[in-house]
Structure 1
């Protein structure tokens, strides 16, 4: 069986979300992830960006609370990620199936959009956790790209 065959059998979910997460407690995020990611986690593969905020929080939650396969995707290389994001990845490295480094020459908006499209293109759906005050954010760009691909979106405002 190839990786592609396995992906067809498993649920594949891209996760996108705000980097601004200080307005909620860790317990609130735990509840959100349990309620909205938990139901999709059995026999699942999650693609998660390697940034701070929702990316790191969801990575830690999924690694600690599910048996799902986890792939972290970064636009450049891992060493370029923010310190708190690198710490989260190192903390659960034994649970991460793969780290994908897209090696963008510059870490600017186009590189982050390319990373998000890469994750959506390999997923059957996207779970998005946008901050209500960020209508033009990368999270909404990713959710809209998902819709343009005809794929389902789960939108959980934080």
Structure 2
């Protein structure tokens, strides 16, 4: 049975080696990465880009990238990852926000959760905060969707 998942996570990933993230994704995303699974990934830097690169290179799952505005508006790291994985991306959704501020990112996060059955969150280690990652995880909880929280 196909499973649809939203991936959300911190943009601050420089405190770990890239190989650490690869091992982390293999362990916590690999279990869900079947031919029938569908992942929704935000088009931002950090966890979004790293997860996109890992999924594109290590799974046959369907991948949809969701940008709050357009892909071109995203940071260089993010659109380079999208460009590099273009052949593996099934769909790019550009929600068309004119200003990339907190409300646009929250709308993008809600859109992804609304289209998913589960949320996989990679928040920065520490107490739960008001970050976009926690907002997405908590929105999933409000919707009664299962959540897997893996602090980084």
Answer whether TM exceeds 0.5 for this pair: yes
CA deviation profile, 1:45-79 (whole Å, cap 9, x unmatched): 00000000000000000000000000000000111
Distance 1:71 1:49 in 2: 8
DSSP 3-state at the match of 2:65 = strand
RMSD after superposition:
0.9
Paired position in structure 2 for 1:3:
none
Structure 1 gap ranges (5+): 1-8
Q: Could you list the structure 1 runs, at least 4 aligned residues long, displaced by more than 2 angstroms after superposition.
A: none
Paired position in structure 2 for 1:145:
139
Distance 2:83 2:67 in 1: 14
How many corresponding residue pairs? 150
Distance 2:120 2:50 in 1: 14
CA deviation profile, 1:87-139 (whole Å, cap 9, x unmatched): 00000100000000000121100000000000000000000000025721000
Paired position in structure 2 for 1:40:
32
Distance 1:62 1:106 in 2: 29
Asked if 1:12 corresponds to 2:4, the answer is: yes
Paired position in structure 1 for 2:21:
29
